[in-house]
Amino acid sequence: MNNFLVKTLKYSDNFLKKVKVNNKTKKIKKKKESGLLGVGKHGKAYNLGKNQFQLLDEEKIINISLYGLNENIKITKEEDIKKFLIFLKSMKNKFVKLIITDKVINKEEQIKKDFFEEIKSNQQVLKIYGNKSSKFLTVQPIGIFKKCKIMGCIVTNKNNEKYHLIFGNKCDNNFILNEGSLKKYILEILQSIEILQKNGFQHDDVKLDNSVKCSGMYKLIDWGKLTSINSVSIRTIFGLNHSPILLYIYQNQGLLSKVSSGLPVMETFDLESFLVEKNNKKSNWMRNLLKYPLFKKTIERVKIELKQIISMNIPRNKLLEKYKYTSDIYMFGIEVIYILYKFKINPDKFEVVIEKFTSLLDPVKNASDAIDFVKKNI
């Protein structure tokens, strides 16, 4: 997982385990680890600070490899190792993620791979945002130790066991939106997308789960699918929340024979076959949206528009040039529908934005135009 807020974490004060009492299974509370925020598929998140992150307290550590923004260093002296652990205890409003995996085969290699992918993507996104990174990103070095601007580290104990740790700023990923705050949310996420586009990149996974609120500002997280606007990552292709015109272009370029549902582009937009027959767990939030008239109305309109465009036989290079900046915008339009549904917000004033963001026949050209449209119409 390539983000600083571990979007899949399920926060709970009650960690339960099953035990047998008089041959009957009974749930009892399991003692929570000190400082533990939660556990996800790819990581366990802990508060940093005094009396919080105690995972390493009982370990005999032989070395720590620090990975920074521009440099990496390795500390092996016992004195330096103690100083670094004290340094971690001094952190406030920060957290640490211990990389884990549910894979049984090649477990250590997978953890290592996930760690370095996250370090690399965080370094890349910091370069993209430059001097605006502190405003728009949660990704930041947590501090400086021996001239290293620390983003993560690998801790090795005397048994040669390794802990892969990623550091970050704590933010609120359980925020609530209403009619008054939704416009602010839309504009601030679009401003972040605008910076990406001007630097030739797209987030490619814009959704509510990948947004947080920090110091009163809404920000994007999870940069694992960050990609160039002029390229496509096959593993990111999903279906209903991706722009179908781009799926169509890539499919017909031979880059993509099938979308990840295993269906051709048009069949993917058959809601029942995709969401019900395929029973794709990733689509649960969309499955819920089937009950929401605005979602069904939007997808049906998009299907009609896609058929019209396909019938025009426009050269693929011209289609790509017209639509290459629309991926994150389209995805964001679907996200706004989900937000209206989730928080039970009156959709009336936002329908015009959703229609514009998800239009294939008259698409919004880029994030800058999308920002202007929102300011004029909401």
- In the listed set 169, 199, 225, which residue is the last one of a domain according to the structure? 169
Structure tokens that stand for 128 in this block:
């993209």
Domain-embedded: residue 368:
yes
Q: How confident is the model at residue 271 (pLDDT cuts 50, 70, 90)?
A: very low
Q: What is the mean pLDDT of residues 178-198?
A: 97
Q: Tens of pLDDT along 291-332?
A: 789 988 998 898 889 889 988 988 888 888 899 899 999 999
Q: Same domain, yes or no, for 142 and 196?
A: no
Helices and strands of the chain, counted as H and E runs: 13, 15
Partners of 97 in beta bridges: 45, 166
Asked if residue 174 is part of any domain, the answer here is no
Q: What is the pLDDT of residues 117-162, one digit of tens each?
A: 999 999 999 999 999 999 999 988 999 999 999 999 999 999 999 9
Global confidence as pTM:
0.81
Is residue 48 helix, strand or coil? coil
Of the three residues 169, 189, 207, the one that is the final residue of a domain is 169
- Specify whether 148 is located in the same domain as 284: no
137, 168 contact by CB (below 8 A): no
Q: Are residues 208 and 263 in the same domain?
A: yes
Residue 3 maps to a domain: no
The larger pLDDT score, comparing residue 361 to residue 93, is at: 361
Q: Is residue 323 part of a domain?
A: yes
104 shares its domain with 183: no
**93 and 137 assigned to the same domain:** yes
In a domain, 264, yes or no: yes
pLDDT at 258: 43
Whole-angstrom distance, CA of residue 137 vs CA of residue 127? 11
Residue type, 187: L
State residue 278's pLDDT score. 44
Helix, strand, coil percent content, the chain, rounded in steps of 5: 45, 20, 35
CATH of the domain at 360: 1.10.510
Q: Do 145 and 194 have their domain in common?
A: no
Same structural domain, 211 and 336: yes
Domain match, 99 and 164 both: yes
CA dist 143 to 152, 156, 220, Å? 11, 21, 22
What's the number of domains the chain is made of? 2
Q: What is the pLDDT of residues 10-64, one digit of tens each?
A: 333 333 334 444 444 444 445 567 778 777 667 888 888 877 788 888 789 999 9
Q: Which of 263, 246, 350 is nearest to 302 (CA)?
A: 246
Identify the domain containing residue 134 by its residue range.
10-169
C-alpha 218/C-alpha 147 separation (Å) is 31
How far, in whole angstroms, is CA 325 from its chain's centroid? 19
Distance of CA 195 to the CA centre of its chain: 17
Looking at the structure, do residues 115 and 215 belong to the same domain, yes or no? no
Beta strands (DSSP E) in the chain are 10-11, 15-21, 24-30, 36-39, 43-47, 61-68, 72-75, 94-99, 144-145, 148-157, 162-169, 201-202, 211-214, 217-220, 227-228
Asked if 228 and 219 touch (Cβ cutoff 8 Å), the reply is no
Nearest to residue 164, comparing CAs of 114, 125, 126?
114
Q: Report which of 266, 228, 273 is spatially closest to residue 248, judged by C-alpha positions.
A: 266
Does residue 4 sit within a domain? Answer: no
Report yes or no on 288 lying in a domain. Answer: yes
Tokens 């957290």 locate to 95
Q: Exposure pattern of 309-341 as b/e (b: 16+ CB <10 Å)?
A: bbeeeeeeeebbeebbbbbbbbbbbbbbbbbbb
1 within some domain: no
191 and 285 in a common domain? yes
Instruction: Please identify, among 151, 169, 187, the residue that sits at the C-terminal boundary of a domain.
Output: 169
Shared-domain flag, residues 291 and 325: yes
255 pLDDT band (50/70/90 cuts)?
very low
> Are 354 and 264 members of one domain?
yes
